[in-house]
Structure 1
Amino acid sequence: MLLALQTAACRNQDTSQGARPAKISATKAYEKYFGPTPTTDKGTCYAFVIYFPSAKEPGKIVPFPFFTFDEKTMKKVAVERLLGGMDEGSYKGEILQPLNPGTHLLDLIEERGTVTVNFSKEILDSPGDKAAERALLNALALSVLQFPGIKDIRVQVDGKEKGTVGGKDVARFLGNGGLTTQPLVPDEDAVAQLPPPRLLSITAVKDKGAKDVEEVNAYFDRPVDIKEIKIAGRNDVPFEGEVYHSVFDMAAVLKPKDATLFKAGMPVKVRWKAVDKLGRSGEGDQEFLLEVKEH
C-alpha cells in the first residue's frame, strides 16, 4: 500500500530520546490541499503531494499526501509512485491508471530549474484515451513543479522528445508534437475537490517470521485528528489494547492486549470519526478484511 509504506518507512527512522518535535517542511501544494503539517521528533522530514488521474471524474486528478526523510529523491519518488498508480483500500477502482503496466521511469534529470523525465518505450503502448492522457500529464506536471526551484518539466520517451521509438510515433503520446518543443504546462483547475477524510484499510504488522502481530493500523488517506475510533471483531466487541496516533497522524495504531486474536483475512469492524487539518470531517462504520504485513 502506498500510504502505509510511506508511514511505516518513516516510523522506522532512528530517534534520540528527548528529541524536540519539529515541524515538517512542506510544499505549498501540500499546505493548500492538506493544511499545516504535523510535527515529528524523527529528524528532518518533508511533505509533498502526488497527484493521480481520477477514474470517477474523467480528466480530473486527485491529490494525496506523502512524507519522506530523503530530500534528494522526492521528485523521482513522486514520478515512480504516479506510474505505479493506487488501487488500495477504499479507493479501489477510483484511481485511473492509463499507462501500459510495463511503463517505467528510465531517468529523471534536473538542470537549471528544468526537470526532464525519460519514460520507457512501453508508454507508447498505452490506450489512446486523450482525456486520460491529459489527466496523467497534469498529474505529472503538478507532482514535479510543486518543488521549489523547478520551473519547467519536459517529457522524453526512450531518450527522445520527438521522432519514433521502435517504429512508433513519440509525438502521439506527447500531444501531437506540441510537447516535444515546449515545457509541460499543467492545468490546476484539473485538481478534483477533496472530499472528507476516509479510512483506507486495516493492516496488522508483525516482525518477519513472527507468529503474532505487533500492532493493528487503521490507515487514513491524509493526516487527521481522530475524535473517535473503535476496532472490533465480528461480534462487535472492541479489541482491548492501547490506541494512539501514528507518525504524521495518518493512522490509529492499536497495540492489542491479545495479539493471537488477529489473523489475515478476518473481518474487522471499525467505527470512527476524524477531522483533517483543514477542518473537513468524516465518519464511518465499516468492515474490512484484515491485511497482515511483515517488516
Structure 2
Amino acid sequence: MRTFRLLVVAVLVLIAITSCTKEQKASPTKQVRVSATAAYEKYFGPAPTTDKGTCYAFVIYFPSATEPGRVVPFPFFTFDQNSLKKVATERLLGGMDVGSYKGEFLQPFAPGTRILGLAERDGVITVNFSREILDTKADASVEKALLNAVALTLSQFSGVREVRMQIEGKESGAADGKDVAKFLGHGGLERQPLKPEESTVLPPSPPRLLSVTAMKEKGAKEVEEVNIFFDRPLEIKELSITGADNNRFEGDVYHSVFDMAAVLKPKDPSKFKAGLPVKVRWKVTDKLGRSADGTGEFSLEVQEH
C-alpha cells in the first residue's frame, strides 16, 4: 500500500489516481487489468494491471497551444464508474499546465467557468456550463477546439451516442445577454449535438518525465522513497539518479502502481533534503512502443504522507 499512496501526492496529472484509493476493501492478490475506454487503448495501448481495487482508464482531450483547433489526448484514471463522465469533464475544465507540458495546452475556458450540471438520458449526455464561458475572448479556432474537446472527451464512454452542451440551461437564444447559439456554432438551429472530430486529434508525444518527489512519513526526519513520475504507464529500460557531483545515489528501483512512476528506495535516505539538485537519466518505452530517453536536472520536492 505504501507505494500506492505515493501517487496520491504527485503532480496534477496524477490527481485522478487518488480516487482509485477510495472505498477500497481488502486488496485482492490477483492482478486485475484496469478497465479502459477504446480511446485510451487507441492512444496509449493496453491498460495496466493493479491489485489495489477496480479502476477505470480514459482520455482527456486538451486543446493544443501549438496547433490551433487541434486537441491532444492525455491519460487519466478514476475509481468510481458512476462518476466517470463528471470526473472527465471536471479535469477538462481544470486544464493541464504542469511539468514538461507547461505552456503546451490551452485553457479555453474563461476564468470562473463552472459545471452547473451533467445529465444523461437514453445515450444523450448534456453538460451545462455557467455563463462565464461566454466571456472568453478566444478566436474561432480556440472555441472550436473547446467544443471538440468536450465532445471527444464525453463521447468515448460506452453507451454515449450524443453530446450536447448548454450554457445556463440554454442550447440557443441568449444567456445573460450573450448569444449562446453563436458561441456553440449552431448557426441559430436549436438542439444540435456537438460532433466529435477525430481528425483534429494530434498523436501523443513520446513519454515524458513530469517530476521528482521524495516521500516521508508525517513528522519523520528522513525520506523513505524518491519517486520519478512519468505521464503514462510505461516500461522503464534504464534509470539513474545522481547528485550535483554526478555521483549516483544507491538503492533499489522498482515500478509503482499503474507503471507511471519509478521508485527509488535509497540506501542512504539522509542525503535527500528539500531543494536538493538531482539529475535523472532515463530510458523508457510506453505500451505502444513509443520510446524516450533523456537527462534532466530537478530541485527535489519532499512531501509527507
Normalised by the length of structure 1, the TM-score is: 0.93
**Which residue of the partner structure matches residue 174 of structure 1?**
184
**Which residue of the partner structure matches residue 74 of structure 1?**
84
| Counterpart among 37, 40, 49 of residue 47 in structure 2 | 37
**Which residue of the partner structure matches residue 229 of structure 2?**
219
Distance 2:77 2:303 in 1: 20
Distance 1:13 1:269 in 2: 37
Matched position secondary structure for 2:61: strand
**Which residue of the partner structure matches residue 113 of structure 1?**
123
| Counterpart among 23, 36, 45 of residue 26 in structure 1 | 36
**Which residue of the partner structure matches residue 247 of structure 2?**
237
Distance 2:262 2:31 in 1: 19
Question: Aligned-pair RMSD on alpha carbons?
Answer: 2.0
Distance 2:188 2:45 in 1: 35
Does the 8 Å CA contact 1:98/1:127 hold for their aligned counterparts?
no
Alpha-carbon offset, residue 293 of structure 1: 3.4
- Aligned CA distance change for structure 1 residues 77 and 18 (closer, same or farther; 3 Å): closer
Superimposed CA distance per residue, residues 105-136 of structure 1 (whole angstroms, 9 cap, x where no aligned partner): 11111111011001111101112311111111
Distance 1:135 1:193 in 2: 15
**Which residue of the partner structure matches residue 273 of structure 2?**
263
Superimposed CA distance per residue, residues 189-226 of structure 1 (whole angstroms, 9 cap, x where no aligned partner): 11102221111121233444544433222111111000
Matching residue's letter, 1:263: K
Point out the more displaced range, 235-244 or 175-184: 175-184
**Which residue of the partner structure matches residue 151 of structure 2?**
141
Matched position secondary structure for 1:196: coil
| Counterpart among 59, 67, 71 of residue 49 in structure 1 | 59
Distance 2:156 2:89 in 1: 12
- Aligned CA distance change for structure 1 residues 282 and 11 (closer, same or farther; 3 Å): farther
Does the 8 Å CA contact 1:218/1:251 hold for their aligned counterparts?
yes
- Aligned CA distance change for structure 1 residues 59 and 167 (closer, same or farther; 3 Å): same
Alpha-carbon offset, residue 229 of structure 1: 0.5
Alpha-carbon offset, residue 264 of structure 1: 3.1
**Which residue of the partner structure matches residue 202 of structure 2?**
192
Superimposed CA distance per residue, residues 138-190 of structure 1 (whole angstroms, 9 cap, x where no aligned partner): 11111111100011111011111122222222223211546742110011011
| Counterpart among 281, 291, 301 of residue 291 in structure 1 | 301
**Which residue of the partner structure matches residue 8 of structure 2?**
none
Distance 1:262 1:39 in 2: 31
Matching residue's letter, 2:200: A
| Counterpart among 20, 36, 51 of residue 10 in structure 1 | 20
Aligned length: 295
Give the unaligned 5+ runs of structure 1: none
- Aligned CA distance change for structure 1 residues 227 and 193 (closer, same or farther; 3 Å): same
Matching residue's letter, 1:90: S
